[in-house]
Chain A
Amino acid sequence: MTVADDAAAPAMAADQGKSLFKRNLENFAENRLALASAVLVLIFVLMAIFAPWIAPHDPNETDLFRRLQPPGWMPGGEWSYLLGCDGLGRDILSRIIYGSRISIFIGTAVILVATTIGIVAGLAAGYLRGWVDIAISRLVDILLGFPYLIFAIGLMAMMGPGLFNIILALAYKEWVIPCRVVRGETLAVRELEYVEAARAIGASRFHIMLREIMPNILSPVIVVSTIRMADVIILEASLSFLGLGVQPPTASWGSMVADGRAFILEAWWVSTFPGLAILLLVLVINVASQGLRDAFDPRFNE
């Protein structure tokens, strides 16, 4: 369909003059679904931040009278305890709101740590090459030899549960992904002219890596990291479900679902709603990050 492409070329030319980043952002904004999803992600984040003000009840307050109380719209339920109560009479809605803090915090922390390590390692491997590259690449290959969950579970088994430990356990394998991306991009970029120019004027290797190469590889790394966020959140929830995540009484969506397992016969809402929360958050992150990836796709910008 070269005819169509040729014909559309002059219209595209009108976009030139804006920076690549800005154009990509505009592409993203055009994708209404992705934009809406990004807004929803923001809402989740706000919910997490303002949890104490939004949640109708104390998430840890037990009330045995309200044990397994149905959601507000069902007989026996109260509207003030909208989504019902769990086995200890705690308000599910409030726990879900507070639970968002765990998911979002852990997800963000893991991605930040992993991306930082990944960028450093990837830059070093891609630019310095030699034994640094070999060592890092070997390490990457070995780590990739573990199924994700097994590795995390193994680590958690050894380290014991806890917030800090989960972040470590997940980050241990996660950094491999941004590292590979960064390494690939660095390899591609290092031969370009502006890097040669920097070398020619005697810039130190460190300077080159930081100032010349890194700004240009950030885009794909950001895109990949946002996509990974969704997976990390599900992983944390899975670990918590198995009992290897945050410990009670802290409310994690995963452990809430696990708590509800005992009651699937008589109180379906205890497991259902926390899981629904996970689904929603992960869904909107996925849509938004896909949109981001499509917007930054170089093929759209020729």
Chain B
Amino acid sequence: MRLGKLVERLLQLVPVLLGVSTIVFLMMALTPGDPVEIMIGDQPITPAEELTLRQDLGLDKPIGERFVVFLENAVTGDFGMSLFHRRPVFDVIVERLPATIELSLVALIIALVTSIPLGVMAAIKKNTIIDRVATIGSLLGVSLPGFWFGILLLMLFAVQLRLLPVSGRIGFDSEVAPITHFLLVDTLLRGRLDAFWDALSHILLPAITLGLPMTAILTRVTRTSMLEVLRQDYVAFAEAKGLSRRRILFRHALKNALIPTVSVAALETGSLLGGNMIVETVFGWPGLGRLVVESIFVRNYPLVQAAVLFYAVTYVLVNFVADLLYTLLNPRVKL
């Protein structure tokens, strides 16, 4: 019975994914200017070669057909060749993926670990210093432009204090043969603690920058939710039972208070994807985001298109999981 509902909801995703793909396709197809000409640029090329190129790219066919081809390719993972890299687009993207995922995960963890205690404390000690700090911090967190904050962090920690590296994902000496492609994990698995610290020091600033808006939002949400929960009758009843404050906090209040936090966190994870591009550019992080930005400037449109599609699909899936998570967590809401 539950499985049926799950499948039903999954099927509802299909039209959305289809729509998303359509829009990505249209973005490309409706670009003013001839993509072939843009790609050729000033290079000398014969009309025959140009025609071959056009045919190779399938640009000589009518738009409806091109769309179908696009969809077919998308499903099989064939996004054509990236002339810039002389490799299939798909391969290039997949190669850069782990760096971005690792960065996003660390940012998420930092956000959760910071915001939840902060939000809970702010609620319990309402209107005290901690509360003020949390509130002001949240406000600043959503008002700070990420790219500027990253640069500021760099100037402070990397340049002035020389505590942390300026860019990149890891130093040369610390390179290890990949297993999971997640550096933090691989360095530990290979037993190289020095490399682990090196990887950690590289990921720290970008992850903090990426996670800052999320931390700000989650702190607010947790605080509000906790305040709401503390006003509930069941908390008053628990007090009337003479239970210890720790018990009331951890067993009664937190469980209910964290539901909005988790669901907002799941939703906001999607927006981490967008912030990636900025942070990876600022910190020279070799991930998908920076790849996209670079590709735009060298007019590597097939890659841009594929990356946008990839991001969009991931975003839709992440939101779906977030929805699911919410229904699971809330014992009163049935699937």
Contact = CB atoms under 8 A, between A and B. Distances in A.
| A and B co-occur in one complex | yes
A281 to B, nearest CB: 9
A247 B22 CA distance: 30
A265 interface: yes
A275 B311 contact: no
Contact of A150 (B17, B301, B308, B319): B308
5 contacts: A138-B15, A145-B315, A154-B27, A271-B148, A283-B143
B163 interface: no
Contacts of B32: 159-160
A261 B275 contact: no
B23 interface: yes
Interface stretch (B109-117, B152-160, B182-190, B237-245): B152-160
A241 B147 contact: yes
B281 A150 contact: no
B143 A153 contact: no
Given A145-B316, A275-B145, A242 B281 contact: yes
Given A142-B19, A158-B27, A237-B145, A261 B151 contact: yes
A275 B296 contact: no
Name the residue in A138, A143, A156, A242 with the highest tally of chain B Cβ atoms < 10 Å from its Cβ: A242
Given A138-B19, A142-B19, A268-B155, A241 B278 contact: yes
A242 B293 contact: yes
A279 B304 CA distance: 30
Contacts of B271: 147-148
Contacts of A234: 143, 145-146
A286 B142 contact: yes
Interface in A26-78: none
B51 interface: no
A59 B76 CA distance: 52
Do most interface residues of chain B lie in helix, strand or loop, or is the interface mixed? helix
Given A138-B19, A142-B19, A275-B148, A150 B143 contact: no
Contacts of A149: 274-275, 277-278
Contact of B315 (A146, A154, A283): A146
Nearest to B29: A158
A142 B20 contact: yes
Contacts of A196: none
B296 A159 contact: no
Interface of A: 138-139, 141-151, 153-160, 230, 234, 237-238, 241-244, 254, 257-258, 260-261, 264-265, 268, 271-272, 274-275, 278-279, 282-283, 286-287
B292 interface: yes
Interface residues of B, number: 50
Given A283-B139, A287-B139, A242 B19 contact: no
B145 A150 contact: no
A274 B148 CA distance: 9
Contacts of A146: 20, 23, 308, 311-312, 315
Contact of A254 (B23, B147, B292, B301): B147
A145 B23 CA distance: 11
B238 to A, nearest CB: 18
B161 to A, nearest CB: 13
A285 to B, nearest CB: 8
Given A143-B23, A146-B308, A271-B155, 4 more contacts: A142-B16, A149-B278, A234-B146, A242-B277
B273 A279 contact: no
Given A145-B312, A264-B159, A282-B143, A272 B31 contact: no
